[in-house]
Amino acid sequence: MALDVDALRGSFGVVIERQPDLTRVFYEELFERHPEARALFTRRPMAVQEQMLAETLVAALDHLEEPVWLTEKLGELGAKHAEYGVTREMYGWVAESLLATLEREAGDAWTPAYETAWSDALSAIAALMLAGYPEQESVA
């Protein structure tokens, strides 16, 4: 799947300019929609988790044209998430919550092209992360 790199980077720039605390508001959205997800975030302070997510998003956006990097790094990240107990269903929770957060924070700058670009990217990210799960867990 070819990702719309310009739309992803452009929309992310708009959102970060409007909401520098994107990951904090994302987690608020996630926990509001799926309060049961909060139990997975007890190992570290939320500020640390927010920073880790911010760094991961920026790194993924920086490497969108490098499929080998994305496959390797997101597979490794997926393996860690398997250890944390993250299920396939939860990737959908994250995608819907992140899309809602991006749209809300972009406001009138959000476009159907941005929606499509992020939906495609989040599907690709989930697939690459799930590929890093141990065999019996990747189909759960």
Q: At what angle do helices 67-84 and 46-62 cross, to 10 degrees?
A: 160
Cβ neighbour number for residue 15 with a 10 Å cutoff: 22
Cα–Cα dist 24/130, whole Å: 24
Number of compact structural domains in the chain: 1
* pLDDT in the model for residue 2: 86
Q: Give the Cα-Cα-Cα angle 67, 69, 70 (nearest 5 degrees).
A: 60
Residue 92 structural domain: 5-138
* pLDDT in the model for residue 136: 58
Q: What token pair was written down for 24? A: 């904090």
* pLDDT in the model for residue 138: 47
21: domain CATH number is 1.10.490.10
Cα–Cα dist 64/111, whole Å: 20
Q: What is the pTM of this model?
A: 0.92
Rg (CA), the chain: 15
* pLDDT in the model for residue 57: 96
Q: What token pair was written down for 116? A: 């499509």
pLDDT in tens, the chain (140 residues): 589 999 999 999 999 999 999 999 999 999 999 999 999 999 999 999 999 999 999 999 999 999 999 999 999 999 999 999 999 999 999 999 999 999 999 999 999 999 999 999 999 999 999 999 997 544 44
Cβ neighbour number for residue 51 with a 10 Å cutoff: 14
Report which DSSP code applies to 65: T
Q: Which residues contact 116 (CB under 8 A, 6 or more apart)?
A: 4, 7
Cα–Cα dist 48/56, whole Å: 12
